[in-house]
Amino acid sequence: MAIPPYAGPLETTWYFTFRFLCACIFLFLITPILVIIPLSFNIEPYFTFTSGMLEFDPDAYSLRWYEDFINNTQWTHSVKNSFIIAIASTILATVLGTLAALGLSKPHMPYRSLVMGLLISPMIVPLIISAAGMYFFYSNIGLDQTFLGIILAHTALGTPFVVITVTATLVGFDHSLSRASANLGANPTTTFFKVIMPLILPGVISGALFAFITSFDEVVVVLFLAGFDQRTIPRQMWSGIREQISPTILAVATILVMISIALLATLELLRRRGEKMRGISPG
């Protein structure tokens, strides 16, 4: 939307005002995330820029909070827990979700929209309600304060994303390919791994990423279900914010931002790959 050569003064003013407004909104979106990165190198235990930091005095910066993070067993423990829980629930959610999406995309699936609605429901029900329900039920069957309980809960919360992304990939799937494969003598398993899987892989991976981030970032269910031994990073941040607020949280936050940038880049690469496979390239 370049400014046209025939634009009058009013249009030029509006053009720049509009651009300025948009810039402000983009700033609103990105500033908080960028601000915490330098703050996490603050040598003082403050949440704001000291005068030394503004003068770029090297003594005002330090890795103090990162050291604190690495040397604190509570934090390192929570990192381990987060990864165990997120990886286990991602694998479960991806397998269950992909199978279900394959079933849902078959033209003969009965009660399709009802089943789809029920399978998607963990994404729609407010987390506090899910957490409360799971808390009662999982306590009754002895799954509270166990890794298994949290993994199952996070799997339930992550599957809708896998179902949605894989179903979306399957919308454009040409079913004659699997018929051709069967016609050429492949059994259903071979057909699945050699023909279907490579084609829907981008959808499966992005669904898995969503499931991973859902579990990795989830705190409400963990608040209700986890005991001290199952504390995850977000749970640790939660008590960090509520109880002893220290810039270690900012160091952790910075690391998490780096992880999200990596995730974002992976997704972008997947999208490009998908476009290339379909023969569309960005203009």
Partner 1 sequence: MANGNTQGEVVLAADGTPLKESLNKAMRKNRIRALLLVAPLFIFILFSFLIPIFDMTFRSVDNWQVGTLMPNTSLALKDWDGKAIPEEAVFEALIADLKAGAITREIGKVGTRLNYEKSGMRSMITSSARKSKKVKEGPYKPIVFKMHKKWKDLETWTVIKRNTSAYTIGYYLNAVDLKFDKSGEIVRQPENRQIYGKLFLRTFAISMAITIICIILAYPISYLLATMPLRYSNLLMIFVLLPFWTSLLVRTTAWIAMLQSQGVLNDLFVFFGFIDDANRLQLIYNLTGTIIAMTHILLPFMVLPLYSVMKTIPPTYMRAALSLGANPFVAFVRVYMPQTLSGIGAGSILVFILSIGYYITPALVGGTGGTLISNQIAYHMQSSLNWGLAGALGALLLGSVLALYTLYNKIVGIDNMKLG
Kindly identify the residues of this chain, within the stretch 32-71, that bind partner 1 according to CB under 8 A.
32-33, 35-36, 39, 46-49
Under rule CB under 8 A, residue 26 binds partner 1: yes
Query: In terms of C-beta distances under 8 Å and separation of at least 24 residues, what long-range contacts does 109-117 make, across chains too?
Result: 116/163, 116/167
Binders of partner 1 among 134-193, rule CB under 8 A? 134-138, 152-153, 155-156, 159, 161, 163-165, 167-168, 171
Give the nearer residue to partner 1 in terms of CB position, either 84 or 223: 223
Give the nearer residue to partner 1 in terms of CB position, either 84 or 96: 96
Least gap, CB of 109 to partner 1 (angstroms): 4
- Site mask, partner 1, residues 93-132, x = CB under 8 A? ---xx-xx-xxx-xxxxx--x-xxxxxxxx-xxxxxxx-x
Least gap, CB of 71 to partner 1 (angstroms): 21
Write b or e for each residue in 143-181: b if 16 or more Cβ atoms lie within 10 A of its Cβ, otherwise e.
bbebbebbbbbbbbbbbbbbbbbbbebbeebeeeebeeb
The binder of partner 1 chosen from 29, 185, 187, 243 (CB under 8 A): 29
- Residues 80 and 147: beta-carbon distance below 8 Å: no
The Cα–Cα gap between 54 and 70 comes to: 27
- Residues 273 and 63: beta-carbon distance below 8 Å: no
Region near partner 1 per CB under 8 A, out of 65-73, 178-186, 193-201, 244-252: 244-252
Least gap, CB of 32 to partner 1 (angstroms): 4
Which phi and psi (to 5°) does residue 61 adopt?
Answer: -105, 150
Binders of partner 1 among 195-234, rule CB under 8 A? 206, 210, 213, 216-217, 219-220, 224, 234
Give the nearer residue to partner 1 in terms of CB position, either 39 or 204: 39
Least gap, CB of 190 to partner 1 (angstroms): 16
Question: Could you identify the residue written with the tokens 């330098």?
Answer: 38
State whether residue 230 is helix, strand or coil: helix
Under rule CB under 8 A, residue 85 binds partner 1: no
How many chain residues are in contact with partner 1, going by CB under 8 A? 94
Number of Cβ within 10 Å of residue 266's Cβ equals 13
- Residues 42 and 61: beta-carbon distance below 8 Å: yes
Angle in degrees, CA 125, 129, 134, rounded to 5: 110
